[in-house]
Amino acid sequence: MNPAVLYPLQPDHPELVAPFAALVRRTGARRLWMCQSFQAETHQVLAYLAGAGHTVPVGTSVTLLPLRHPYEAALQARSLALLTGEPVVAGFGIGNPDFVAGLTGRPYDSPRTAVRDYLRSVRALLDGERVEAGGPYHHLDGALPLLPHAPRVEVGAGVLRPGMARTAGEAADVAITWMTPPGYVAGMLRPALEEGAAAAGRSRAPRIATAVHVVLDRPGRDVRALALAATAGHREAPHYAAMLRAAGLTLDPHDPAGSADALLRHRVVVAGSAQEIAGALDAYRRSGVDEVLLNPTGVLLGEGVHAAVEDLEEILAACRSFLPGDRQEAASVEPGERPGRLVG
């Protein structure tokens, strides 16, 4: 039980992310993850932090593949590995169709083909191979200079539903998921990843890294309100709403209290004491998730960076001390049933 931590916003200066990087270095958390940023660009922020002494494992969850050619993507990822001296997960996703059309002139006819071809080119370049690709979404004839001393870079794909999970199974090292409940991972995504890997003749499916919203239940905090604030940008998007319905969640915009309780009950948002959170996160491990990304969006938005880091430090300590024998007691606590004031 050694989660990673996620800085989930788009910073306008690297110093906003520095407390998260310092937390990873101080606690030995598995990795620092960042999302696509259109303010201070993600790779540049992580490079800045490495130059400032925060040489920790990092991951991108996810950068949008229409922004850069696969050659540039492989070069950026390997550069981070060289600058940090640590392993890197380079995660990629396609973005929404309007975004793709704004950069390329039209949406991808086959998003899965675009992702598959892109990941294969990036992986081959990182492995020192010469790539000759002439598919519908990128042209490439070249290779990166060999650097055998560079730390390992894993290539990841953003995965939300079984179709893209099968594609990730064919070509990715890591499947990166957001807001996917443990039962959905185990019942829908993991089998699709295995199907994709088998179809491609791969010996194993990609490992799974899942971002999970966490809220430490402190006096005076409204857990339900923080759960709604944390998930607002994603749960209202059609593809996330479809995934959550498939996972068994009923989210009614006219019933915010009921929606918050559903998010908490299904562990889309994990709340409670640090020990209760550690116990609830164990459900992700048992569902097949290899790496949990602790996502403190609600507290970060409501109370700022230092409050979010303080929460994460307590949760990390609880996860390190968690034993499987604690599972039954922890699972019996239902954060969604805690009384609370609902804001709005």
Kind plus residue range of the DSSP H or E element containing 132: strand 131-134
Compute the mean pLDDT over every residue in the chain, rounded to the nearest whole number: 93
SS (H, E, C) 105-130: CCCCCCHHHHHHHHHHHHHHHHCCCC
Break the chain into its structural domains and give their ranges: 1-22+31-158
pLDDT tens readout for residues 263-316: 999 999 999 999 999 999 999 999 999 999 999 999 999 999 999 999 999 999
Instruction: Name the pLDDT band for 324 (thresholds 50, 70, 90).
Output: low
User: Could you give the CA distance from residue 262 to residue 125 in angstroms, rounded to a whole number?
Assistant: 43
pLDDT tens readout for residues 46-83: 999 999 999 999 999 999 999 999 999 999 999 999 99
Residue 344: per-residue pLDDT? 32
Q: What is the mean pLDDT of residues 171-184?
A: 98
For residue 344, the number of C-alpha atoms closer than 13 Å in the C-beta half-sphere is 13
Q: Are 86 and 58 in contact (CB under 8 A)?
A: yes
pLDDT tens readout for residues 226-258: 999 999 989 988 899 999 999 999 899 899 999
CATH topology for 1-22+31-158 is: TIM Barrel (3.20.20)
Instruction: Name the pLDDT band for 340 (thresholds 50, 70, 90).
Output: very low
Q: Could you tell me which of 62, 151, 181 has the C-alpha nearest to residue 115?
A: 62
Flag whether pLDDT at 337 surpasses 70.
no
Residue 330: per-residue pLDDT? 39
Q: What is the mean pLDDT of residues 90-109?
A: 95
Instruction: Name the pLDDT band for 326 (thresholds 50, 70, 90).
Output: low
A 10 A CB-CB count for 152 gives 12
pLDDT tens readout for residues 128-162: 999 999 999 999 999 999 998 899 999 999 999 99
User: Could you give the CA distance from residue 116 to residue 264 in angstroms, rounded to a whole number?
Assistant: 34
